[in-house]
Chains A and B, each alone.
Chain A
């Protein structure tokens, strides 16, 4: 089935150790998003891509970066994870102006 796939489902990293989360899609959507969601909070948009055009939210920390090498793949890099970065990271895709399809998320723990 066409879908949005995130790997891994659970990721544990150490304080300060770089980590990369991955997302792939078979929907051929031109927009891809990364959201951060902490417990009982709203998903918070970190970045989104319209094709290769990168859009960074003003309040996204510099510690977070993203890459989209092609239509299907998108990566979230956390350069130096802190304890406050422990959260669920949600990847989503859409056509322009249409609904978002979410992946199953990566739950990040920082020790």
Chain B
């Protein structure tokens, strides 16, 4: 089966750094995505990894290790507006366009 695991909730302080982990067991692998979702809104794209290593984009970075089935999203200089759910999603095969989503990590940033 396909399984994507993330912590359910995390808390952090404004200005701090937080790392959100994601582990996956899927029948195949053709890329991992991170999306941000504010309550009651649609997910918005944050990052994409298909090769091992770190992808940096401003305050957000994402890391992938395919051999370990592991990714993390790193958020630096946290702001109050970063309070949201962060969804890890895997494209599980080369011959499919579908993304399988984890249940998301709800991050609360406190002043």
- Residues in chain A within 8 A of chain B (CB atoms): 31, 33, 35, 40-45, 48, 50, 55, 88, 90, 94, 96-97, 99-105, 107
Contacts and interface: CB of A to CB of B under 8 A. Distances in A.
5 contacts: A40-B106, A43-B43, A50-B97, A102-B42, A105-B42
Q: Which 6 A-B pairs have the closest CB atoms?
A: A102-B42, A42-B101, A42-B103, A31-B97, A43-B101, A105-B42
A68 to B, nearest CB: 14
Contact of A45 (B43, B99, B102): B99
Given A35-B101, A100-B45, A102-B44, 18 more contacts: A40-B103, A40-B104, A40-B106, A42-B4, A42-B103, A48-B97, A90-B43, A96-B97, A97-B30, A97-B31, A100-B33, A100-B43, A100-B99, A101-B45, A102-B43, A103-B42, A104-B42, A105-B41
A33 B98 contact: yes
B41 A45 contact: no
Nearest to B88: A42
A106 B100 CA distance: 20
Q: How large is the interface on B (under 10, 10 to 19, 20 to 34, 35 or more residues)?
A: 20 to 34
Contact of B98 (A40, A48, A105): A48
A103 B41 CA distance: 9
B60 interface: no
A40 B103 CA distance: 7
From B45, B97, B102, B106, residue with most partner A Cβ within 10 Å? B97
Nearest to B103: A42
A105 B43 CA distance: 9
Contacts of A90: 42-43
Contacts of B4: 42
